Amino acid sequence: MTATVARLRHLNLAALEVAAHSWRRQAQQLAECEDAILREVVPPLEHAGWSGPAANDAKHKIGWLDDQLRVASSTARLIAHALEAAATRWRAIQNRLHQLFEDATQHGLLLDDDGIHLPAANPKFIHFEEYQAQRQQLATAAGLLRRRIHELLEAADRLDAEVAETLGRLQPASPGSDGDLVLEQRDVVADTRAVAVLAGYRQSDLPEHDGDPMRAAEWWRSVAPADRALLLQAFPQHLGSLDGLPADDRDVANRAHLDFCLIDGQGPNRDAAHRLREMLRAADGNRPGQMLLLGFDDAGDGQAVVAIGNPDRAAHTAVFVPGITNVLGNMGSQIDRANDLHHAADLMTPAAGDVSVIAWLGYDTPEKDGSAVGWERSRLGGLSLDSFVNGLNAAHEPSPSHVTAIGHSYGSTVVGEAARGGDGLAVGDIVVAGSPGMHAGDASQLHIDPRHVWAGHAGDDPVSGWLGNASGVHGREPHVLSFGANRFGTDTTGHGGYWQPGSLSLNNQAAIVVGNYSEVQLVHGMAPR
């Protein structure tokens, strides 16, 4: 055993805290170095007109160094966090030892760096039975306290080993050499998780995905801000898809997960993930058209949830649910539609940033096979959509915003499932376009005032037209009069034209999204006042 009473008592934990502070400062300064290279070296070098082999080598080396500084900065931050967590846990053990010593003092026991001792027996009283009994009681108390101290020393040894192992992970992989940055970046997730465990967080302690988003939001608010940053990097996949967490934080987690998939993965969605990352980066800093990655999964066909504008701060949020054959590979087209709707809606509000539109590919869409006529995908999708919308409401400050669910094609069956099940879908309006049915006989079954249910149908759209009518598998088409919803006017053609920029089809949806109901041109129905 390494730990002794003396060592534990006199351990200078302040030195550990000073070191932690220093590493945190170093992380910040390294990030500033990286930023300086990105801003003040790379662009001027591109524009200096310098080319040729030497210039290419220099640019390559500068890029490599920039990556190196970024990895070093994130590792320095991890070291700081590990040292802070270690200091906290060491202090807890040291405090328990001090408490045991206080208990011993109260019992009249003697203390020193070797532990707890009985005071010398008084020869005058040693033959008295009462005195002997007292001595026996004291010996029993001393024995109990010694056992507790022994347990504490064992705990100190375990902590020591855990801290040493964690710090050992945070050394550079190949110090001083041109190491493999990809390998180091791959290790970052595992290293971060080790630090999170040292700080007392395990994946099993995180809220479950099928839990109440409101509780997840409360739990997140209870986590210290510095720990939140650590957890987002340690458990990016879990937290990135946890409904109820703020959009900014989900974005950080999902981008980290996306980066990790690109480093690690060779799967079929690699190209699609790469394209998605490029789209996100291209939109960075573009307010109010900033993109936030609220969900990402590269398994199977791949899924992604991308917000245009921040839904936590927007007064109006639309969640756009696509239909069949949509996968990660064609997420770009969903983002384009969301962008067009966002642009149209944002023009109808007084200030930029009032609107967020979310392209929600958060379910496994049917392929062009029998699954498109089944209800299973929409049932599962509906459960996910319901949770996602509850999460939006839980994360929105200070109170839930006006949320509109928009379902296109099979996506409208997902919206229908979410709305008709349980206590309904927590949205202010439901919009469907090109819908073959919503698994409901009429709008009143959707747990919402039918005046807030809106359906659009282009005359030549077969899905909400003859095809939906003939099959009947998804119920009555919501644009027909007997469904009881408002039918908004459309001027576009086909099944996929409803988001054509400048069209009546799009502008009607935008007006609903921002609650401008009097501006919606209706074919039939009654708009809310």
C-alpha span between 425 and 433 (Å, rounded): 18
Nearest distance from C-beta of residue 160 to other proteins, angstroms:
5
Contact 479, 456 (CB under 8 A): yes
Question: What residue type is 235 in one-letter code?
Answer: F
Nearest distance from C-beta of residue 422 to other proteins, angstroms:
52
Nearest distance from C-beta of residue 51 to other proteins, angstroms:
5
**Residue closer to other proteins, measured from CB, 12 or 518:** 12
C-alpha span between 403 and 466 (Å, rounded): 31
Residue 213 exposed, middle or buried by CB count within 10 Å (0-12, 13-18, 19+)? buried
**Residue closer to other proteins, measured from CB, 56 or 105:** 56
Nearest distance from C-beta of residue 179 to other proteins, angstroms:
9
Provide the token pair at 148. Answer: 């507790």
**Residue closer to other proteins, measured from CB, 99 or 174:** 174
**Residue closer to other proteins, measured from CB, 2 or 204:** 2
Nearest distance from C-beta of residue 302 to other proteins, angstroms:
37
C-alpha span between 174 and 494 (Å, rounded): 59
Nearest distance from C-beta of residue 55 to other proteins, angstroms:
7
**Residue closer to other proteins, measured from CB, 55 or 383:** 55
Contact 513, 401 (CB under 8 A): no
Question: What residue type is 150 in one-letter code?
Answer: H
Nearest distance from C-beta of residue 167 to other proteins, angstroms:
4
Separate counts of helices (H) and strands (E) for the chain:
16, 11
Q: What is the DSSP letter of 453?
A: E
**CA dihedral over 72, 196, 154, 7, signed as positive or negative:** positive
Binding site for other proteins (CB under 8 A): 2-3, 7, 11-13, 15-16, 18-19, 21-23, 25-26, 29-30, 32-33, 36-37, 40-41, 44-45, 47-55, 57-58, 61-62, 65, 68-69, 72, 76, 79, 83, 86, 160-161, 163-165, 167-168, 170-172, 175-177
Please report how the helices 53-106 and 225-234 are oriented relative to each other, as an axis angle in degrees rounded to 10: 120
Nearest distance from C-beta of residue 203 to other proteins, angstroms:
24
Provide the token pair at 300. Answer: 């199977």
Provide the token pair at 406. Answer: 């928009």
**Residue closer to other proteins, measured from CB, 160 or 442:** 160
CA 276-280-286 angle, to 5 degrees, is 155
**Residue closer to other proteins, measured from CB, 90 or 101:** 90
**Residue closer to other proteins, measured from CB, 23 or 498:** 23
Contact 307, 250 (CB under 8 A): no
